[in-house]
A and B are shown apart, each in its own frame.
Chain A
Amino acid sequence: SQKIEQNSEALNIQEGKTATLTCNYTNYSPAYLQWYRQDPGRGPVFLLLIRENEKEKRKERLKVTFDTTLKQSLFHITASQPADSATYLCALDTDTNFGNEKLTFGTGTRLTIIP
């Protein structure tokens, strides 16, 4: 069966360090992968999209890598700040017949940046 796993349900990182979150998948061959941020009681907010032919994508302090051989994406936040504390979700396109995009989401990693 298809499966998306995100490392540890919760991750605590010291302020200023780099936070690294992992998204592993099995039985998919996604054309792209997306990362979202979700704050408590709010809807997810899109952060970054990386395509299967891209190894790395950056946006300010965020960096995403995508290894289709390992079936893994890594999401990095450099120089982390307490304001980065949130749940981060990865999502893969899992229905190539859909036309638009049908995403399957991982369960998320709750990141806490400790001052």
Chain B
Amino acid sequence: DGGITQSPKYLFRKEGQNVTLSCEQNLNHDAMYWYRQDPGQGLRLIYYSQIVNDFQKGDIAEGYSVSREKKESFPLTVTSAQKNPTAFYLCASSGGRSNQPQHFGDGTRLSIL
């Protein structure tokens, strides 16, 4: 079945540590996205990529970094510069044209030890 796989489901980080969240899709989608979801705040866009080797900052990119070396993969690194990293992180992809719905993974919940 085609879809988006995020791993791990739960992740714990120590203060001052970088962690990388995985996102893989087999939908052959060009565009991929990372969102952060906090209670009562909805989804906020961190980074997005329209094509391999290209990505743009979203609304809350500070303290995060991404890469897009392969079409299928869009990993997100939460750096130690992100002061409030505890959240539910969602990865999505879409077909690359307007009016296309986004397909989401089941998220990674990141907590600070």
The interface of chain A, by Cβ under 8 A from chain B, is: 4, 9, 31-32, 34, 41-46, 49, 51, 89, 93, 98-108
Per-position binary interface string of chain B over residues 77-103, scored 1 when its CB falls under 8 Å from any chain A CB and 0 otherwise: 000000000000010101011111111
Known: A43-B90, A43-B92, A44-B90. A100 touches B98 (CB 8 A): yes
**Is there contact, CB below 8 Å, between A42 and B99?**
no
Known: A43-B107, A99-B50. A49 touches B101 (CB 8 A): yes
Having A43-B90, A101-B98, one finds 15 other A-B pairs with CB under 8 Å, namely A41-B106, A42-B106, A43-B6, A43-B92, A43-B105, A46-B102, A51-B99, A89-B42, A89-B43, A98-B50, A100-B94, A100-B100, A101-B100, A106-B42, A108-B42
Top 6 closest pairs, chain A to chain B, by CB:
A43-B104, A46-B101, A107-B42, A105-B43, A100-B31, A105-B42
For A89, the chain B residues whose CB sits under 8 A away are: 42-43
Task: Categorize the interface residue count of chain B.
Answer: 20 to 34
Is B48's CB within 8 Å of the partner chain A?
yes
For A102, the chain B residues whose CB sits under 8 A away are: 45, 48
What is the bound-complex CA distance between A65 and B107, given in angstroms? 30
- Cβ of B42 to closest chain A Cβ, rounded Å: 4
- Cβ of B29 to closest chain A Cβ, rounded Å: 9
What is the bound-complex CA distance between A112 and B10, given in angstroms? 27
For A45, the chain B residues whose CB sits under 8 A away are: 104
For B98, the chain A residues whose CB sits under 8 A away are: 31-32, 93, 99-101
What is the bound-complex CA distance between A34 and B43, given in angstroms? 14
**Is there contact, CB below 8 Å, between A100 and B42?**
no
**Is there contact, CB below 8 Å, between B42 and A34?**
no
Could you list some 14 contacts between A and B, CB below 8 A?
Answer: A4-B42, A9-B40, A31-B98, A41-B107, A42-B106, A44-B104, A49-B101, A51-B99, A100-B97, A100-B100, A101-B31, A101-B102, A103-B102, A108-B42
